[in-house]
């Protein structure tokens, strides 16, 4: 089967006349992990929100295999993990999981300790890290073909980081993933290729040492 291809192109974003993204391009194939790096405030979260459809830019093209997508959150072809916790407080974990997890993924999802340990609780009874792990699991096991993950490594402990990298590689078997985080070594470790967002445009990074030339890291 030919892998699906997500393409975002010509993305231009301004906030109150300040240009954030200038004709940005990024793409991702089913079966690959693309790591998105960039300094604070360069527009990484905005770019993911635009691809997902919750932020309206001046111009965008977002498509899968040439089919233009508008509000990707409504047809669930793309799933998005926002930078901050997204599950409202007071929801029953098992009920919200059944809404978010893909039917064909449920069997694998319901065996995950990140779900079984908390399935009889409410979202406000979990710690920040427990909630983050649950939110990540729900996105990873969603029915979407493509995942956009904003800072999944932030706020989770080292052992959880290793667990999450394994989960990402498992999800990659059937999905395409764009992931951003300032824990750049984890991003480099888990990604098939790296894209740097710098001065409003994306640049492919072939050698991690280029990240020094662009001033993203001092040493690598």
Backbone angles phi, psi at 30, to 5 degrees: -55, 130
Window 39 to 68, contacts with ligand ATP (CB under 6 A): 40-46
Find tokens 């994306």 and name the residue: 202
> If we measure between CA atoms, which residue out of 36, 53, 66 comes closest to residue 151?
36
Least CB distance from residue 53 to ligand ATP, whole Å?
A: 15
Q: Residue count at the site for ligand ATP (CB under 6 A)?
A: 10
11 or 20: whose CB is closer to ligand ATP? 20
Least CB distance from residue 189 to ligand ATP, whole Å?
A: 19
Should residue 15 be labelled a site residue for ligand ATP when binding is judged by CB under 6 A?
A: yes
Count Cβ atoms within 10 A of the Cβ of residue 69 and give its class: 0-12 exposed, 13-18 middle, 19 or more buried.
Answer: buried
15 or 159: whose CB is closer to ligand ATP? 15
User: Which structure tokens are listed for 144?
Assistant: 């979407």
**Side-chain-facing half-sphere of 10: CA atoms under 13 Å:** 6
Window 90 to 119, contacts with ligand ATP (CB under 6 A): none
24 or 42: whose CB is closer to ligand ATP? 42
The CA-to-CA distance between both ends of the chain, in Å, stands at 38
Window 23 to 42, contacts with ligand ATP (CB under 6 A): 38, 40-42
Least CB distance from residue 182 to ligand ATP, whole Å?
A: 6
Least CB distance from residue 151 to ligand ATP, whole Å?
A: 7
The answer to whether 176 touches 6, Cβ cutoff 8 Å, is yes
Within 10 A of 106 (CB to CB), how many other CB atoms are there? Answer: 13
43 or 53: whose CB is closer to ligand ATP? 43
Least CB distance from residue 105 to ligand ATP, whole Å?
A: 28
* Per-residue CA distances from 171 to 30, 61, 88, 175, 176 (Å): 10, 25, 25, 6, 8
Which residues are within 8 A (CB) of 37 and not within 5 positions of it... i.e. 6 or more apart? 44, 180, 184, 187, 194, 195, 196, 197, 205, 211, 216
40 or 103: whose CB is closer to ligand ATP? 40
Least CB distance from residue 99 to ligand ATP, whole Å?
A: 27
Binding site for ligand ATP (CB under 6 A): 15, 20, 38, 40-46
């Amino acid at each position: 089967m030919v892998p699906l291809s997500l393409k975002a192109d010509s993305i231009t974003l301004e906030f109150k006349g300040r240009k954030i993204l200038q004709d940005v391009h990024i793409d991702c194939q089913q079966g690959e992990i693309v790591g998105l790096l960039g300094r604070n405030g360069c527009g990484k979260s905005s770019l993911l929100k635009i691809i997902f459809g919750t932020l309206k830019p001046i111009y965008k093209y977002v498509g899968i295999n040439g089919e233009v997508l508008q509000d990707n959150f409504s047809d669930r072809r793309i799933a998005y993990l926002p930078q901050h916790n997204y599950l409202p407080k007071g929801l029953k974990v098992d009920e919200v999981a059944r809404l978010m997890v893909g039917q064909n993924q449920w069997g694998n999802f319901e065996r995950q300790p990140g779900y079984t340990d908390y399935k009889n609780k409410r979202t406000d009874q979990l710690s920040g890290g427990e909630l983050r792990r649950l939110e990540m699991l729900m996105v990873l096991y969603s029915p979407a073909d493509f995942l956009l993950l904003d800072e999944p490594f932030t706020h989770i402990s080292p052992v959880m980081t290793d667990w999450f990298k394994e989960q990402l590689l498992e999800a990659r078997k059937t999905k395409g993933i764009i992931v951003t985080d300032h824990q750049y070594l984890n991003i480099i470790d888990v990604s098939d290729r790296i894209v740097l967002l710098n001065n409003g445009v994306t640049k492919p990074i072939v050698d991690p040492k280029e990240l020094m030339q662009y001033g993203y890291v001092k040493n690598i």
